[in-house]
A and B are shown apart, each in its own frame.
Chain A
Amino acid sequence: MSTTTAIKAKQRPGDRVFSGSAVFAGSMILVTLAAVAIFLIVQSIPAFFADSEDASILPANFWEYVGPLVFGTVWAATLALIMAVPVSIGIALFISHYAPRRLASVLGYIVDLLAAVPSVVFGLWGIGVLAPAIQPIYSWLVENVGWFPLFAGPVSGTGRTILTAGIVLAVMVLPIMTAICREVFLQTPVLHEEAALALGATRWEMIRTAVLPFGRSGIISASVLGLGRALGETMAVAMVLSASGAVTFQLLTSVNPSTIAANIALSFPEAYGMNVNVLIATGLILFIVTFVVNAFARWIVSRRKEFSGAN
């Protein structure tokens, strides 16, 4: 620090109160996060040792109950990421390097509008519009590509499958991923880009040789942050997915795994007794998973300070 040798300013009472309250507020963040962990753990300890006699929603013990849910959560989020990563890179490139300069910020704002739509509205839209519209495509896929294990039949009549939920999730994580990718792509040193162009590269070759290598860590952290969002997204999945709790990779049938978050939202309002503790325990597992995923993403981001997905 450069001010260590400077004369210390006089500490007035106002200063003490103000700096004290600032430190207090900062510590509240630590306290809150610790409280979230502690209260969830306290409430879920009984559930870890419960069996079907204690809690009516358990098939045998807790781990057999939570296993399919964890699978469904990871599977739905993976599907969403597979769709969202290429599209968000494409949008980010379009806004940063293809769209006319004057339009770019407006287009970015329009993409951000997607983030402003509440998840419950996405859920309504998924059931009312997306699922009926996409069901004929599912039928076609099952009829013609049904030999491919993922597309095995029988096709769901409503279209409310894990793939539809994945599409809705992909739309919901697009804005944050696009925002991060866009920021990184815009930070590419202009000299690198101009050097590539001056050597006769086409725009795509310039992007491939200058922009994408520079933005690789940004793309990775955007994907991991998107994964964190997709893992925890609740209402859209709860409404769109018609879940049966099975463990299956098939995308188009009416037998679908549920996700932790959606299962909590659907079961919690009617839960009582030990069932509440079981659901809170599944929430604790979701909290741990997303905490690890987010911490990993932040670790990648923190190696490059200037961008973050918080706004």
Chain B
Amino acid sequence: MTTTTKPEAPTAGPIENSLTAGRLPTPAPWIILGAAIAVGLAIFGVLALAGGEFNWGGAIVVGALLYIPSIWLFSLLVEGRRRAMDRLVTALVTGAFVLAMIPLISLTITVVTYGVARFDAEFFSSSMRNVTGEGGGVLHAIVGTLLITGAAAIISIPIGLMTSIYLVEYGRGRLARGITFLVDVMTGIPSIVAGLFAYALFSIFLGPGTRTGIAGSVSLAVLMIPVVVRSSEEMLRLVPNELREAAYALGVPKWLTIVKVVLPTSIAGITTGITLAIARVIGETAPLLIAAGFTASMNYNLFDGRMSSLPVFVYTQYANQGNPPEAYLDRAWAAALTLILIVMALNLIARLVARFFAPKFGR
């Protein structure tokens, strides 16, 4: 090629640019990804022709697995070893994220498709009393979940909130450090140990084998208190010190400063934290299975007799399948869908509270 006629060259490719020389063009990774998935589809297409149905999941997985070495190879040939390594890690890191999305998506699709079969009016308006086959519902479990979680919240919100106030406003020295450390450790208590604790507590005082709703609430409170403490503590620390100092300068007592200035400023964040804490314990199964047991009938009394809850209902429907088994599994999936909807609604409420009630004027 002659250099003098370069601008008028009929086969004008991209102009050589020293900054982009020796690099893969921008769309190259996408083209390679498309090609890799096409190869995966082709492989499984051939397998499908040989026998059986087309495995979409397998094709995509093989395509994605093909992409990782091929982007490395292409980049190695064009760009050299260091950039090839960079591309490889980019592919792996993105792959890790996609990999984590697979269970989430699969779980959502499964719960919704299996759950809608029994997601009807009867399901939400009847209990399992005298139901052996099809029919029946989850009303007793919903009532139980609301009562048990509500009682757990009533126990843990005052304790958790006051503890966080102590840590932020009063706590000095060894006691505060010890509490901080133990709260952190308490977040890691296995839920089943909390259930065993509540069971042991109530069976020592009320005789062995006692299973009541309030025992379930106590076990949930053990799990909920540390979460409330941590989130409230964080929110209280966000309150600017100037607000406190202004109140003190006006002669306001410390406790009134906390009640009238500090808490109103951080109330949105605290509400968010508490809602998330409730969302976290409302799905706990193991402690309620141990401490509150399960029943087929309605029970409105926290202090008397066993009490069903949604997660335990899901578990017992699965574990004690009767005849026909589909009826039991359908009920389990529908209850799982209900549970997930409740948890998601709580999460959504928490985010909305955080967004719309965040302090703007420090009321």
Residues of A within 8 A of B (CB): 1, 9, 12, 14-15, 17-19, 21-30, 32-33, 35-36, 39-40, 42-43, 86-91, 93-95, 98-99, 107, 110-111, 113-114, 116-125, 127-130, 133, 171, 174, 178, 202-205, 207, 225, 228-229, 231-235, 238-239, 261, 264-265, 268-269, 272, 276, 279-280, 283, 286-287, 290-291, 293-295, 297-298, 301-302, 308-311
Contacts and interface: CB of A to CB of B under 8 A. Distances in A.
Which of A119, A120, A129, A133: most chain B CB closer than 10 A? A120
B340 interface: yes
B315 A123 contact: yes
Which of B57, B158, B196, B273: most chain A CB closer than 10 A? B196
B107 A298 contact: no
Interface in B186-207: 186-194, 196-197, 199-201, 203-204
Interface string B250-262: 0001111011000
Interface in B161-195: 161-163, 165-167, 169-172, 175-176, 178-179, 181-194
B192 A261 contact: yes
Interface string B106-135: 110011001000000000000000000000
Summarize B's interface: helix, strand, loop or mixed: helix
Interface stretch (B7-15, B32-40, B91-99): B91-99
A130 B343 CA distance: 23
Contacts of B234: 311
Interface string B206-221: 0011000000000000
Given A90-B96, A290-B188, A310-B226, A120 B343 contact: no
Interface in B22-43: none
Interface stretch (B63-71, B285-293, B296-304): B285-293
- 3 smallest CB-CB distances across A and B, nearest first, come from A232-B190, A90-B96, A118-B283
B276 A311 contact: yes
B318 interface: yes
Contacts of A93: 93
Interface of B: 57, 82-83, 85-86, 88-90, 92-97, 99-101, 103-104, 106-107, 110-111, 114, 158-163, 165-167, 169-172, 175-176, 178-179, 181-194, 196-197, 199-201, 203-204, 208-209, 222, 225-227, 229-231, 234, 248, 253-256, 258-259, 273, 276, 279-280, 282-286, 289-290, 293-294, 311, 314-315, 318-319, 332-333, 336, 339-340, 343-344, 347
B197 A15 contact: no
Contacts of B100: 87, 91, 111, 114, 171, 174, 178
B179 A231 contact: no
Contact of A25 (B89, B159, B231, B294): B159
Given A90-B93, A286-B193, A232 B182 contact: no
Contacts of B225: 28-29, 32
B47 to A, nearest CB: 12
Contacts of B104: 110, 113-114, 117
Given A119-B285, A308-B184, A18 B311 contact: no
